[in-house]
Structure 1
């Protein structure tokens, strides 16, 4: 096994055939566009009929973050008011001003969304249920695999609350997070951004968008960032580059091609839980040993081809090839041995006054190929308009993890006087080495029926067929399973006034292979497969409104979300092949959000959620019935108020709150709640924008998770030049 501990280690590129394919497609597209332009030049009449591309900057308000339409909820561009389900949208640039590049941190404060720090993933829960394992998407394509995702090339984030299997297949049921990339456009501007701040945080972004001719636009976005942490010994370096091309022949044929290279290298911050440490240990103390590292690599090649047969009917084919990997070699967590020779759990120990860390290394690669074909159309039937979507999807995912871990490591650290000198063990054979392969086929249909001027019904259903196969590469043992599922959806919308929509909806989702849903079939010879999927269903009612002549938008929703068909083996020693229903988990809550302009020069964005996520029944551990689900807060939300009067100066003040969260099923350990204030001052005079942002204004000490404190007060200065 090669040594990957050096920060300057070469990064493995994506396969050359993939890059060559993108180059070839781009060349063909440019050639076709050039031929089209030459033809139009020879036909003056046709050339004069081309639409004029222009940007009306007077209508753009940089302080209003509301989108005119979203695509995540229905796979079609639709106004949020016409969607019978809660959907929140975040404009990434507003968070970048504070130096936030981490997805989980960016989602902190979204009503009903709880986040925590996870060195290996994102740590995102939506309405009580995990979303980071398989419910994060990029441009509508599933972002599979264990990897931390950069947001360097993300324009906005759409969060759909509740089951979404009707369009996306397997899901934990809490919701979907869709990252919308920056890509070539005919109306986008170019910009250069430099930033610098606390703890040696320096970075820059180049975003170049060019219209080559009326048919071709190209874009190149690149970002480089490096920083130390407020925790000693912790640092990171992020690199991203993403070229894209858009071709539109102005006769209904459009194609977008994009390649994204994203690399995140870091000294990991995976310290012992705060309740495992003695009182008085500073939150600024990191516990990384020399040579600890983790690297996330993401390579995505995407093609989006569509054709409009006429103004009513369109066909779209989206193909994606994604390669993600996460390698790490590090000491982590650990238990403290007190002066009496006992751990916090009361076990005997010999290394008094020291933390004994665990140790692990891992190499994992995820490869995903997906193809989706959608036919959309509008037609009249029986006096009612139908907006129809017919789709088919094929996907194949591979995950190949190699892992070695041990709690009996030689990493001993005095938390009050740390000396990091652990002797890293030789990296021999892995204790786990598996290959997981999953394949899925699906067809789905969705119809928005306009019953009357004030009434709409959204109907949908999806059929999924899937297979999972796993091979233990150490002993050659194989396991496989498969199944199918139907996911329905129905929503009713009543719009008594054009500015208000009152809706109700019911959705169902599935999580295959006993609810795991991910590529991790047990390959042990003694393993027993439970092939029944778990399900989630949600009933939601709400109202979406526009106020103040359309300047302010609000949404209010109440929901009940149940996770059921959770199974267990009641007599594993007597009959290991018999499974029974363990019970179900239930989340109930109310969410409110608002965004827009509330008065001249005053803007607001944010919301609040109140949630009760509990175990409804549990036959395996009856004592857990009525207990709160781990990592779910009863209350959370955020509110940012911006003042942007006429002139160059503007300012913003925001507050983010999360209440206490239990960290275990028995509800015996918890992370305290917190309230954090942030603010910024900005100056803009075209083409320049300069901001000074302060995170954690009051320098409050708080914990994002039981092993990760929030950052103390920090500063970031950003300068953007647009052209």
Structure 2
């Protein structure tokens, strides 16, 4: 069966594609790829993968997964110098990303996917920190609810970042890169087979670059050693440690509509003392044992610590010559900008433990591919935050210059310890009634506890609850190249989706005592054409986020919460990917979505208004041409439609289309690529406070030993 997904890119280790041997039955992407693999020659210009485990936790054929999955090959994406997760996934249909200094600002099908829906090797990457892609091999995006296997989530979908890790196939690679605005970096990726049972890998990456915005810069250093043992008798064990340190001069400019006309997009307003420090550490262990050809067990343990420390100015307000701000408030610093200041130290710790039992068996003529799992997670967050109402110095918005140093903060506004504990039990079964008819069914039970301790007021409060999350999908494959499906899935987010309890100044606590839910109906067709050289998919979906809450009177009765209503996203996504002819390849996708307020008891006038920062139209088209042996040239067009900056739909941000191009020389040992982003120098805003990057080039060169 050769059907593959339309948008899923090559599953690679290093720069080589692979097929997994019999041990594949032990693992998923965060486990299968830690096992021994057998190399095969594959066309790296064809950006498809045959299997995925992001949606099912075990490796399934794409055609057997009744939900949309998009995949991005990081080797392909990074030839354009794209390293930020939000920028990388922004081109995918139904995915919108705005600039957020603290995290990613990503939405999937209209709903947030930044706080608890980003995963690394199948484990939740929780906590307030930017997600580094320095050691990431590919990114998979599952559209729609995923609570059936992963527990709590916002409901739009999840993003799974899959790491480079020790294996028996990948070559050692050395690479360097350099480009516009003092961007330079390099990677040493050593993968070595010590003997037929043991492989080690050491990946080190460093990058430093400045922004096109004056004074903005960052540097990132990542190191990740890993060790894989395979006794060739069914037992496998992967151990991996990753440390990533990111230092940034943050860019917290005002919204473009809050600035006077004529301000250059290259003008930034960071204070010389501003900084953000992100420090990420993780230790992962994956042990698998295959009892026989059909049954296996896997234990995954991960400890993750993500810290963010910052001190910066933000939320600038312009006062015009008439003494008014853009919100018509009075001010006395005519023709100047004033900012607020924030200082924060936040520590996020996650202890994740999962045990999976996978098996294949038959009841009469019906085949089963079953997964049973248990999960126990502990998440701790310790924010320390100090805010000032307004920084005393005002500056010229056209020629910003700071004269004063920032003082130390006087006192903390927040000093709270949060702890969340979750226990999950889940079941999944791919039931094959015939070769043509299949059913994917799953159910998960979660029990969760949350405790919050305010160290300033010496008050604490806790909350607990439980939830059931189902998924069911019917699949019809009348012929080998065509797969039709229809699915239903449900998601939950405890504490009303807010993820934390706010402790008040007395014995009461503001929290939402019921989960927020989302549910999705999706139908689609996954197809192969031209003898499996081109794949396509069309999917239609109806996704609703409901049980949303609000405070009817936050001032006089801050402890009363009621259900506000629901939001709904409906849309269609199409894609085509693969080989058009001998020397031509395509990678494309387009989406149309209507993400609106469905019901709003708090503000009835908001009904049918579009959700903010969500484009109605989006898509991309990439075409690669191989004119001569070892040479390629590529052109890419990314489009993002207009969207509203606010919930009341008063301020609309224009859409944009960006052209990128690349030319490269490739052999088995050498890769050299020259790429240009924003080829035509388009000026646009990727968010209300962040303009898009002007024309830039990047030269990369790598050598495989």
TM over 0.5: yes
Equivalenced residues, count:
670
**CA 1:491 to 1:689, structure 2 compared with 1: closer, same or farther past 3 Å?**
same
1:97 is paired with a residue of what secondary structure? helix
Determine the structure 2 residue equivalent to 1:20.
Answer: none
2:148 is paired with a residue of what secondary structure? helix
Q: Structure 2 matches for 1:68-147, cutoff 5 A?
A: 68-147=50-129
- CA displacement 1:525-573 (0-9 Å, x = unmatched): 3543321111000000000011111111111100000011112344667
> Which blocks of at least 5 consecutive residues in structure 2 are unaligned?
1-34
Counterparts of 2:63 and 2:505, CA distance in 1: 50
**Selected match of 1:272 from 254, 258, 273:** 254
Comparing 420-429 with 435-444, greater Cα deviation is found at 420-429
Task: Work out whether residues 121 and 147 of structure 1, in 8 Å CA contact, stay in contact via their aligned partners in 2.
Answer: yes
Determine the structure 1 residue equivalent to 2:26.
Answer: none
**CA 1:626 to 1:520, structure 2 compared with 1: closer, same or farther past 3 Å?**
same
TM-score (norm 2): 0.93
**Selected match of 1:662 from 644, 667, 672:** 644
Counterparts of 2:359 and 2:546, CA distance in 1: 36
Determine the structure 1 residue equivalent to 2:6.
Answer: none
Task: Work out whether residues 673 and 699 of structure 2, in 8 Å CA contact, stay in contact via their aligned partners in 1.
Answer: yes
Task: Work out whether residues 129 and 306 of structure 2, in 8 Å CA contact, stay in contact via their aligned partners in 1.
Answer: yes
Q: Structure 2 matches for 1:288-327, cutoff 5 A?
A: 288-327=270-309
Task: Work out whether residues 310 and 344 of structure 2, in 8 Å CA contact, stay in contact via their aligned partners in 1.
Answer: yes
Q: Structure 2 matches for 1:300-699, cutoff 5 A?
A: 300-516=282-498, 518-525=499-506, 526-570=508-552, 578-699=560-681
* Residue 345 (structure 1) shift: 0.8
**Selected match of 2:177 from 164, 174, 195:** 195
Compute the RMSD of aligned alpha carbons.
1.4
Determine the structure 2 residue equivalent to 1:218.
Answer: 200
| 2:143 is aligned with 1:161 | yes
* Residue 427 (structure 1) shift: 2.6
- CA displacement 1:200-244 (0-9 Å, x = unmatched): 000001111111111011111110000111000000000001000
Task: Work out whether residues 460 and 503 of structure 2, in 8 Å CA contact, stay in contact via their aligned partners in 1.
Answer: no
Comparing 601-610 with 518-527, greater Cα deviation is found at 518-527
Comparing 124-133 with 521-530, greater Cα deviation is found at 521-530
| 2:17 is aligned with 1:55 | no
Comparing 417-426 with 681-690, greater Cα deviation is found at 417-426
Task: Work out whether residues 155 and 181 of structure 1, in 8 Å CA contact, stay in contact via their aligned partners in 2.
Answer: yes
Q: Structure 2 matches for 1:41-52, cutoff 5 A?
A: none
Task: Work out whether residues 341 and 349 of structure 1, in 8 Å CA contact, stay in contact via their aligned partners in 2.
Answer: yes
**Selected match of 2:156 from 174, 183, 191:** 174
* Residue 577 (structure 1) shift: 5.4
2:88 is paired with a residue of what secondary structure? helix
* Residue 422 (structure 1) shift: 3.4
* Residue 520 (structure 1) shift: 4.7
* Residue 298 (structure 1) shift: 0.4
Ranges of 4+ aligned residues in structure 1 off by more than 6 Å: none
* Residue 313 (structure 1) shift: 0.3
- CA displacement 1:321-361 (0-9 Å, x = unmatched): 00001110011221001111111111111111110011111
Counterparts of 1:422 and 1:274, CA distance in 2: 25
Counterparts of 2:613 and 2:438, CA distance in 1: 37
Q: Structure 2 matches for 1:699-710, cutoff 5 A?
A: 699-710=681-692
- CA displacement 1:384-418 (0-9 Å, x = unmatched): 00000000000000000001112321242101122
Determine the structure 1 residue equivalent to 2:699.
Answer: 717
Task: Work out whether residues 208 and 220 of structure 1, in 8 Å CA contact, stay in contact via their aligned partners in 2.
Answer: yes
Task: Work out whether residues 622 and 637 of structure 2, in 8 Å CA contact, stay in contact via their aligned partners in 1.
Answer: yes
Task: Work out whether residues 296 and 325 of structure 1, in 8 Å CA contact, stay in contact via their aligned partners in 2.
Answer: yes
Counterparts of 1:245 and 1:171, CA distance in 2: 31
